[in-house]
Structure 1
Amino acid sequence: MIGFIRLFVMLFVALTVIYVSLSFYSRAVRKSKLKKKWHAGKQLVDRDTFVQRGLERYDGSIRRKLILGVYIVPVGVIAVIIYLTNFT
């Protein structure tokens, strides 16, 4: 039982590092795309305001929520493997 708990604690720490890294990377890519979009389009507002508004919309988007799959998929796969090895 202790080994099982240790496995999930280590898995949670590793997945948290991956989640944070992926979140920062995704936000940086979105910021870069917004800056390019501002340069290519009409400059009705200053760049910082345009980027800030775009990032606020990004924070509420489904893409941001999909990154939570970093936690769901590995834990689900491990649960299925444990179930299949023990009960089939």
Structure 2
Amino acid sequence: MVALLRLVIFGGIALTLLYLGLSWHFRARRRVRMEQDWEEAGRPGNRDAYIAEGMAQYERSLRRKLLWLVYILPVSAITLLIWLTNFN
């Protein structure tokens, strides 16, 4: 039981760090890409408003939602492995 608790705690910490790192990386890449698009296209208007709107769209995007797979896939795989080991 202690080993399972240790796996859950340290696994949760590791997955959270991975999630936060990937989230930060994807947001930074999106922001840089939007800044480059702004400069290349020579768009009129407020640059900060353009970037804020683009980041709001990113928050609602599928890529942002797919980041939750960082938690779902490993937990599902470990659960399946434990189930197969104990019940077969």
TM-score range, shorter chain: over 0.9
Identity between Structure 1 and Structure 2 (%): 38
Paired residues for 1:52-63 under 5 Å: 52-63=52-63
Cα separation, 1, equivalents of 2:22 and 2:5: 25
1:26-85 per-residue CA deviation (whole Å, 9 max, x = no partner) reads 000000111111122241222211111100110111110111111001000101111111
Q: What's the TM-score once normalised by structure 2's chain length?
A: 0.93
Cα separation, 2, equivalents of 1:44 and 1:84: 60
Partner of 2:40: 40
Cα separation, 2, equivalents of 1:86 and 1:37: 54
Cα separation, 1, equivalents of 2:5 and 2:53: 42
Cα separation, 1, equivalents of 2:70 and 2:45: 36
Partner of 1:19: 19
Cα separation, 2, equivalents of 1:45 and 1:13: 43
SS, match of residue 45 in structure 2: coil
| Shift >3 Å, 4+ stretches | none
Paired residues for 1:64-75 under 5 Å: 64-75=64-75
Unpaired stretches in structure 2, ≥5 consecutive residues: none
- RMSD, aligned α-carbons: 1.0
Partner of 1:30: 30
Cα separation, 1, equivalents of 2:83 and 2:51: 47
Unpaired stretches in structure 1, ≥5 consecutive residues: none
